[in-house]
Structure 1
Amino acid sequence: MIEKLNEIFKNGSVTYYNSSYFFPPRVREDVTKLYAFVRIFDDLVDSVPQRVEEFYNLRKLYNLEKKGYSTGNIVLRNMVELSMRKGFDDSWVEAFLNAMESDIYKKSYYTIEELLKYMYGSAEVIGLFMMKILDLPDDSMHYARMLGRAMQFLNFIRDVQEDLYLGRQYLPIEDMEKFGINKMDCSQGFEEFMRYEINRYFEFETEAERGFKFIPARYLVPIKTASEMYKWTALRIRKSPCVVLSKKVKPKRRKIVVTAIKNMAGVYLWRSLNLIIR
């Protein structure tokens, strides 16, 4: 069972998958269950052509699982079990599914405010799920949301070309207008636009990192590693913004693992110093 979920996780994200190895086994299993659930819905709306009927059928099956009926779907069953055990708010799951549904009919966003509403369901609630999986205090809720927001916003920057292929544009159109561009092609205006959005990502990320103080050391290593890989990606794109029009910028597995190993030493040293200072 877990092998199937693990395969979904592995095929979905290099950064998250490799970073998650540094969670304790039980936590990693829960993270895998969550990611498999998120991935199967996301894949349906991201396919070409979109598998709309399958999306709605899967959503109906999830609601049946939630009501106690067995649908035979391992991913859905595990999400319901995880949700009950960890105390997920049902509204978070609904916000996620609603965001995925909006990808069926909504293709672009004009303002950042409009995009933030979408990102609450598509990304910020993932941070809330993780907060519950890790048994973090409610005081960490804002920062958990911000980390989900930051990571997805960088995905929008990194995946500009892929999203155009899917007929979508997440980065706000009003921001493009500020730089005098109306299409995604390499130009001075495009580079300035992308750097503007990357600076916005760093604002989200900086705010999210203020919440690292709530995360126990044994959980902080994989989260900090994933966060640093996103920052590495952002810096690469900021240096040469037009690169996103030709390839997807992301770290290799070796870099992720090496960074995690360094963080293992760094995180525990940081915690020790904080205890001494206190």
Structure 2
Amino acid sequence: MEGPTEVPAPVQAAYSYCEAVTGRQARNFAYGIRLLPTDKRQAMSALYSFSRRVDDIGDGSLAPEAKRDRLERTRELLERIRRGAVDEDDIDPVAVALADAARRFTLPLGGLDELIDGVLMDVRGETYETWDELKTYCRCVAGAIGRLSLGVFGTQPGARGAERASEYADTLGLALQLTNILRDVREDAVNGRTYLPADDLAKFGCTAGFYSTTPPAGSDFAGLVHFEVRRARSLFAEGYRLLPMLDRRSGACVAAMAGIYRRLLDRIERDPEAVLRGRVSLPGREKAYVAVRGLSGLDARHVTRQKLRGRA
């Protein structure tokens, strides 16, 4: 629930720090949150900065035991925020900003516990036999962020189907994360991580960790990618049901972020082996174009038309 609009100077400084982190590190996320009013943009930056801290611990060079210790200390910080035990003079700007956001909005902070749980799965080097297993991981590291974001956005009074808004936000998070997994498949393999389900890999003659610049002989790597792209598109189509429940600017933010990832999917679908040659990305001008389409509602209407035609 939103609180007073006036922000004390130390808290404003903390938010400014988080916005700088977001602008510097969130290549896709930042395009969407620019469309939000100040209070929501600041809260989203605080959420991103805390999440970035958790991810950086998991991706860093520390030994696994040191990563686990650091993650548990981050969980203790989250508990302090939950108890309201972080004040505006705390030396940690991310904690100050997130604590203020939690006072101003109804944030399900347990979602950040789920994020920590998901990163601990990475630290343990877990792999996934089935989509259902991978889905559990994706819900921790991305679906939970979708639900937290919904706490900032809120839903329109009287919005039809609003009782399912959290479910749709979670599903959009899954769609984004599966797109990330496809985009980063080679980079993850180089770092000793395989996320795609073993069942799916086997179905297309692929094995975990094989990724080089070209698929191995006898595999149907393109078939594997197209299979996962269809799964991601289905998740996007379901998650887009959230948009009519949001106010215009929050809906534009979600449409912009999701639209960028859907265009990444389009590129990956057209050239599946591109993910083996390097990271697939969109130029800044195309991201800006997607943001404008999100603000106008064009991308949401496009997905709705595709869904009605059975192609989403």
Q: Same fold (TM over 0.5)?
A: yes
**Counterpart position of 1:213:** 244
Match of 2:74 among 58, 61, 73: 58
Instruction: Please say which of residues 191-200 and 75-84 is displaced more in the overlay.
Output: 75-84
C-alpha deviation, 1:226, in angstroms: 1.5
Match of 2:60 among 47, 68, 71: 47
Unaligned runs of 5+ in 2: 1-13, 156-161, 302-312
Over the matched positions of the two proteins, sequence identity in percent amounts to 22
C-alpha deviation, 1:128, in angstroms: 0.8
> Equivalent residue of 1:72, what SS?
coil
Question: Is 1:29 paired with 2:29?
Answer: no
> Equivalent residue of 2:273, what SS?
helix
**Counterpart position of 2:282:** 251
Q: Is the 8 A contact 1:15 1:251 kept in 2?
A: no
**Counterpart position of 1:274:** none
**Counterpart position of 1:104:** 123
Instruction: Please say which of residues 135-144 and 83-92 is displaced more in the overlay.
Output: 83-92
The separation in 1 between residues aligned to 2:181 and 2:51, in whole angstroms, is 17
- Say how many residue pairs are matched: 270
The separation in 2 between residues aligned to 1:205 and 1:214, in whole angstroms, is 16
Match of 1:38 among 51, 66, 79: 51
Q: 1:263 to 1:105 in 2, by over 3 A?
A: closer
Q: Is the 8 A contact 1:109 1:115 kept in 2?
A: yes
Higher helix share: 1
What are the superposed Cα offsets for residues 31-78 of structure 1, whole Å, 9 maximum, x if unpaired?
Answer: 111111111111110123455143333333333343344463221232
Q: Is the 8 A contact 2:142 2:174 kept in 1?
A: yes
What is the alpha-carbon root mean square deviation over aligned residues?
2.2
TM score, norm. by length of structure 2? 0.80
Instruction: Please say which of residues 46-55 and 234-243 is displaced more in the overlay.
Output: 46-55
**Counterpart position of 2:18:** 5
Q: Is the 8 A contact 1:92 1:121 kept in 2?
A: yes
The separation in 2 between residues aligned to 1:17 and 1:265, in whole angstroms, is 18
Question: Is 1:140 paired with 2:165?
Answer: yes
Q: Is the 8 A contact 2:115 2:144 kept in 1?
A: yes
Q: Is the 8 A contact 1:191 1:241 kept in 2?
A: yes
Bigger RCO (CA 8 Å, 6+ sep):
1
What residue identity is the alignment partner of 2:55?
D
C-alpha deviation, 1:229, in angstroms: 1.1
1:200-239 equivalences under 5 Å are 200-239=231-270
Question: Is 1:94 paired with 2:113?
Answer: yes
**Counterpart position of 2:174:** 149
What residue identity is the alignment partner of 1:193?
L
What are the superposed Cα offsets for residues 91-148 of structure 1, whole Å, 9 maximum, x if unpaired?
Answer: 3232222112221113321111111111121111111111110112443111111111
Q: Is the 8 A contact 2:36 2:249 kept in 1?
A: yes
What residue identity is the alignment partner of 2:271?
S
The separation in 2 between residues aligned to 1:206 and 1:21, in whole angstroms, is 24
Q: Is the 8 A contact 1:19 1:225 kept in 2?
A: yes
Q: Is the 8 A contact 1:15 1:226 kept in 2?
A: yes
> Equivalent residue of 2:288, what SS?
helix
The separation in 1 between residues aligned to 2:134 and 2:296, in whole angstroms, is 38
What residue identity is the alignment partner of 1:184?
Y
> Equivalent residue of 2:211, what SS?
coil
What are the superposed Cα offsets for residues 171-227 of structure 1, whole Å, 9 maximum, x if unpaired?
Answer: 111100001121234335111111111111001011111221112212222211111
Q: Is the 8 A contact 2:146 2:172 kept in 1?
A: yes
Question: Is 1:159 paired with 2:184?
Answer: yes
What residue identity is the alignment partner of 1:255?
E
> Equivalent residue of 2:186, what SS?
helix
The separation in 2 between residues aligned to 1:109 and 1:12, in whole angstroms, is 28
Q: 1:262 to 1:57 in 2, by over 3 A?
A: closer
Q: Is the 8 A contact 2:150 2:169 kept in 1?
A: yes
